[in-house]
Amino acid sequence: MPRLPFLLRVFLLLVVVPASAFASVTKGTLKGQTIDVGGLSIPGVLITAQSESMMGVRQMNTDPEGRFYFNDLPPGEYSVSAEKAGFAKVSKTNVVLSVGRVSNITIEMPLATAQEEIVVEEKGPAVDTESAQRGSVLTKEFLERIPAGRSYQSAVQMAAGVTGGSNPNIGGASYNENTYLLDGVNITDPVTGTFSLNFNFDAIEQIQVLTTAFDPEYGYNLGGVVNVLTQSGGNTLDFVTGVYVTNGNWSPRLDARYASDGYELAPTDFDSRFELYRVGMMVSGPVVRDKAWFLASYSMARSLIANVGIDLPRDFDGHYMLAKLTTQPSVSHRFTVLFQTDPSAIDNLDQGDRYVEPEAQYRQAQGGYFVSGQWDWYISSDMYLETKANVQKSFLEVTGVPCTHNKEIGYHPCQPTELENSLDFVTPGRYGINNAFDSDNFPYFVFDDRWRFNASTKFSWNQIQMLGTHDIKAGIEVDRTLWDQLSGYNGNLLFYDLNQLSYNPDTLQNYYWIEVTAPYNFIATAEHAGVFIQDVYKPIENLTFRYGGRYDRQITRNDQGDAIVDAHLWGPRVSVIWDPWANQKTKLQASFGRFNDGGRLAVASYMSQSGLGQKLTLGEYFSNFTSDVANNYFYVPNENTNTIMDGTIAPRSDDFVVGFEREVIQDLVISTFFEGKFTRYIYAWDELNLVWDEDGYNVLGYSNGTVENLYRMRTPSIARRDYYRLELGFNKRSADRWETFGNYSYTFSRGTVQNSPSAFMQVPQEIEHYVNGYLPTDIRHDVAVGGWWDIPDDPWTTSVGFTLMLESGYPLSRYYGTAYYGGGSLLKDTRGSYARTETWWNLNILVRQDIPVRKGALRATGQLSNILNNRTGEFAGITGDNRWIISSRLDPIQVQLGGEYTF
């Protein structure tokens, strides 16, 4: 490739980059040096890199120091050859390149002999002595062989520093403070801060989980980064289809059943249900060999899951489609277009109340689409420009389900004139006693649309010589998100039934009702722009400085266009990595980074100024008692009285990391890291109008003189988390047909807000202990161990994989207020008590059998999940005067059987 004039390079760095835009890492770097048998460098060697994951080849000549450098290669397994007259041709095969990693190899070239080519199998160094980021890269090879649950959300649990469920907590942050990327593009839900897309697990090439110490191009968030890279196809036609059935119904679930008055619960009261059916297929191959590849993937998932004591299962149907077209018209340019959609529906959504009548259930339709375009421009051997643009829409609709043709789930059957799932906006919804919905339609509806428009460009310029070498990257990203939600009540009325047994729907005699003025519509928007610049400076070969910073500007507006968040955010990052013996077997590092959170659209919506107005009307029933109340009502205007505190500061974390890694024997690396992370100014709310007693337990008065509750949003410095983690780990990378890993984290965290809030904002405990606050004093031990072994049994191959995870926490957290089950009146934990969880072990085993057949292979898999089955949870409720508490197994043992055919 041509070398560009110096002025053009400067122009690209200073002008082109800011004018377009950056994105996050989706590639890796392959570098190295050619030497002769005496250890002297060989300049002018033609280096050729090729891989099944890359179209064509990349070539360059080594510099006067014998060095070569291929930046921004797609992850995969590479073959690197070196050729020069007078020397034997040397090829290194199986060089593994992972996303975001540097693979540094040395090629020793003997003088030419009769042997034409020397082939050496080398995976590259096991320790990346140039990068500082902590986390894991889960490869396709790995994910296929271990029981990962066939979802990227569960697969990331194996990385050290990751806890929680499918919405994980990473690096001590809340579950809604992570960034999710698909092929380097931000797909984080702009409202909730959680993942927002689903697709076929088989389409995943690698999953990169970053927990801390990452470069400035990442990290506009307080938590971790989950970067999912999809496959791109190849020069051969491949077809994979599979069926997976998972069942947890037979698993023992009962632990205890009791009620305060000795009420004996029937077995069905504590039963639960878990069934999952998945079908998937993927086809990929060349459109034009080495010029255009395609990939198309579809999978369907249906699950029937019922909570303990609930009769009707939640019925989920999801359809996930992903298509990708990659073209490379010339060696310098590559274009990729990706389309994804995942329409899904959940019936029987309410699993919280066992007394919900079937016909009063509701349905949630959800999904969306994602379209992305990417242009990779390999400007020269040392310059690269990546430009992306994408649009994402996700939707969520919650409506009543007036009828169904699905007899299995027991809704009232559709009449000849009735359309299944047709929406009933006319008949008012009705609540019976205990808030049970007993009408023939669910009372409210929600139509929720979320958009993200994103464009980014990243420019990298490598191997700049100045007192050592520099790899410089810079980029800019612009992002606009929008949240448009319409909600309201069917018929604009909500009836309450005072006496469910004797109501008269014709006269409405035993009802009172709330009239809602109109459907409520709000729109929240956010504009974000970020720039970063970073340098990887190596003054000497075994010492690396990674430094730089990012600046983010975010404005988040509520429904009135008021700027709720208007933030200038600086995020400096610096790391020092030292390879003391310069042999790529040892790494010592120290890192510091500041991470910022510009907030989600949910923050702006909390400050929306409009809301549902409502008017209470009392029915005739009340006239039996007084003569004049029948037509009385109160009216609540449709205003949101929440307020924002001046001087809000965007939340931020200061993160310090020191660590050590060492390859102790061939392919086996041990590591230890310590992290201290200090988060301040977390988004919080408190009740502005209320004056509390010394324990935050009872209200003493109202500042504005009325009982009305006014909520205030702010980001006080006392809303904070301190997080410390010590990590010990080992990793024996894939070689000799087996691979294993393990990590242990001891975590201590202490904060003044809830650590895993169910809401987007949190409650500082010193103000509002009472509502639902508990202090997250969290001391945990987390262990994740896994591995696989391919047992050759020619022509068949049997593979056995396992994962074992442990989570503990004594105490998990301490309540500063009295906690109730589900916000109800059944006491759960009193003030000052510690929330305790049982130590939870999770053991999963996967056995896979590959059977060669004509033009392909059959694969049978059997997976046993959650074998130890000791994770318990409590469910509670009140039935009349009966209090009941059920302790049950949260994750039953599941059996998964699967079959695949690969062409």
Partner 1 sequence: MHTSTTYTLLASVGLLLGGCAYTEDALNHFDFNGTVRIPVEAVQVEMRDDDNETWTIDDPRAMGPIYMGVFPSVVDNLYDFSHPEIGPVTSDGQSGDAYPLGGNTVGRFEWGCYQQLICQTVTGRYSSYDDVLEFFRDEVRDPILDTNGQEVTSGIEYQEQCFEYKYATDDYEIAFIDDGQLDFALTSDGQYYEAETSIPHVPFYEGMTVWGWADMPSEGFGFTTCNSSIGESVYYYEEQYDVGSNFSDVLNFPGTYIDHGDYVENEGYVLTSTEDEFVLELGFRYED
β-partners of residue 726 are 674, 746
CA distance to 96, 123, 136, 787, per residue, from 734 (Å): 10, 9, 14, 9
Cα–chain center distance at 147: 19
The phi and psi torsions of 269 (rounded to 5 degrees) equal -70, -25
Among 64, 701, 792, 795, interactor with partner 1 by CB under 8 A = 701
Q: Quick check: 420 binds partner 1 (CB under 8 A)?
A: no
CB of residue 547 vs partner 1: minimum separation in angstroms? Answer: 6
CA distance to 149, 202, 203, 273, per residue, from 862 (Å): 12, 16, 20, 20
Q: Quick check: 702 binds partner 1 (CB under 8 A)?
A: yes
β-partners of residue 150 are none
Residues 6+ apart with CB under 8 A from 775: 750, 751, 752, 765, 813, 814, 815, 816
Q: Quick check: 264 binds partner 1 (CB under 8 A)?
A: no
Question: What is the enclosing helix (H) or strand (E) of 10?
Answer: helix 6-11
> Which listed range, 220-228, 388-396, 515-523, 686-694, lies at the site for partner 1 (CB under 8 A)?
686-694
Q: Taking CB under 8 A as the rule, which mask of x and - marks residues 334-363 in contact with partner 1?
A: ------------------------------
Q: SS3 of 450, please? A: strand
Among 697, 737, 793, 823, interactor with partner 1 by CB under 8 A = 697
Q: Quick check: 707 binds partner 1 (CB under 8 A)?
A: yes
CB of residue 754 vs partner 1: minimum separation in angstroms? Answer: 19
CB of residue 693 vs partner 1: minimum separation in angstroms? Answer: 4
Nearer to partner 1, 239 or 702 (CB): 702
Task: Tell me how many residues contact partner 1 (CB under 8 A).
Answer: 63
Q: Taking CB under 8 A as the rule, which mask of x and - marks residues 636-655 in contact with partner 1?
A: ---------xxx-x------
CB of residue 164 vs partner 1: minimum separation in angstroms? Answer: 26
| CA proximity to 624, closest of 501, 502, 499, 510 | 510
Q: Taking CB under 8 A as the rule, which mask of x and - marks residues 750-769 in contact with partner 1?
A: ----------------xx--
Letter string b/e over residues 846-872, b meaning 16 or more CB atoms within 10 A of that residue's CB: bebebeeeeeebebebebbbbbebbbb
CB 681 within 8 A of CB 715: yes
d(Cα 521, Cα 368) in Å, to the nearest integer?
20
Nearer to partner 1, 629 or 691 (CB): 691
d(Cα 232, Cα 75) in Å, to the nearest integer?
11
Nearer to partner 1, 631 or 704 (CB): 704
Nearer to partner 1, 504 or 717 (CB): 717
d(Cα 768, Cα 695) in Å, to the nearest integer?
9
CA distance to 358, 375, 514, per residue, from 361 (Å): 5, 47, 20
CB of residue 875 vs partner 1: minimum separation in angstroms? Answer: 16
CB of residue 887 vs partner 1: minimum separation in angstroms? Answer: 14
Q: Taking CB under 8 A as the rule, which mask of x and - marks residues 552-591 in contact with partner 1?
A: ------------------xxx-x-----------------
d(Cα 72, Cα 379) in Å, to the nearest integer?
12
CB of residue 465 vs partner 1: minimum separation in angstroms? Answer: 7
CB of residue 762 vs partner 1: minimum separation in angstroms? Answer: 16
**Cross-sheet strand order for the sheet of 57-61:** 57-61, 46-51, 76-83, 89-97, 117-121
d(Cα 822, Cα 829) in Å, to the nearest integer?
12
Nearer to partner 1, 767 or 805 (CB): 767
Q: Is 47 exposed, middle or buried (CB count within 10 Å of its CB: 0-12, 13-18, 19+)?
A: buried
Q: Which of residues 188-227 bind partner 1 (CB under 8 A)?
A: none
The phi and psi torsions of 307 (rounded to 5 degrees) equal -70, 165
CB of residue 213 vs partner 1: minimum separation in angstroms? Answer: 16
Q: Quick check: 13 binds partner 1 (CB under 8 A)?
A: yes
Q: Taking CB under 8 A as the rule, which mask of x and - marks residues 835-874 in contact with partner 1?
A: ----------------------------------------
Among 437, 692, 741, 788, interactor with partner 1 by CB under 8 A = 692
Q: Taking CB under 8 A as the rule, which mask of x and - marks residues 441-480 in contact with partner 1?
A: -----------------------xxx---x-x-x------
Nearer to partner 1, 716 or 729 (CB): 716
Task: Give residue 358's region: left, alpha or beta (phi > 0; psi -120 to 50).
Answer: alpha
Q: Which of residues 711-730 bind partner 1 (CB under 8 A)?
A: 714, 716-717
Q: Which of residues 809-838 bind partner 1 (CB under 8 A)?
A: 818, 825, 827-833
Residues 6+ apart with CB under 8 A from 258: 265, 884, 885
Q: Quick check: 535 binds partner 1 (CB under 8 A)?
A: yes
Q: Quick check: 383 binds partner 1 (CB under 8 A)?
A: no
Q: How many CB atoms lie within 10 A of CB 509?
A: 17
CB of residue 537 vs partner 1: minimum separation in angstroms? Answer: 9
Among 412, 553, 594, 615, interactor with partner 1 by CB under 8 A = 594
| CA proximity to 425, closest of 471, 350, 486, 478 | 486
d(Cα 201, Cα 218) in Å, to the nearest integer?
24
Among 529, 563, 699, 845, interactor with partner 1 by CB under 8 A = 699
Q: SS3 of 202, please? A: helix
In terms of residues, how long is the chain?
903
Nearer to partner 1, 699 or 860 (CB): 699
Three-state SS string over 77-89 comes to EEEEEEECCCECE
Question: What is the enclosing helix (H) or strand (E) of 154?
Answer: helix 152-155
CB 732 within 8 A of CB 740: yes
| CA proximity to 372, closest of 321, 421, 338, 418 | 338
Nearer to partner 1, 262 or 267 (CB): 262
> Which listed range, 67-75, 106-114, 371-379, 531-539, lies at the site for partner 1 (CB under 8 A)?
531-539
CB of residue 832 vs partner 1: minimum separation in angstroms? Answer: 5
Nearer to partner 1, 260 or 507 (CB): 260
Residue 308 DSSP one-character state? T
- DSSP-based helix, strand, coil % in the chain, nearest 5: 5, 55, 35
CB of residue 825 vs partner 1: minimum separation in angstroms? Answer: 6
Q: Quick check: 172 binds partner 1 (CB under 8 A)?
A: no
Q: Please name the amino acid found at residue 505.
A: P
| CA proximity to 70, closest of 413, 449, 323, 381 | 381
CB of residue 571 vs partner 1: minimum separation in angstroms? Answer: 7
Q: Quick check: 705 binds partner 1 (CB under 8 A)?
A: yes
> Which listed range, 105-113, 137-145, 196-204, 687-695, lies at the site for partner 1 (CB under 8 A)?
687-695
Contact residues for partner 1, defined by CB under 8 A: 6, 9-10, 13-14, 260-261, 464-466, 470, 472, 474, 533-535, 547-551, 570-572, 574, 594, 645-647, 649, 686, 691-695, 697-705, 707, 714, 716-717, 766-767, 818, 825, 827-833, 878, 881, 883
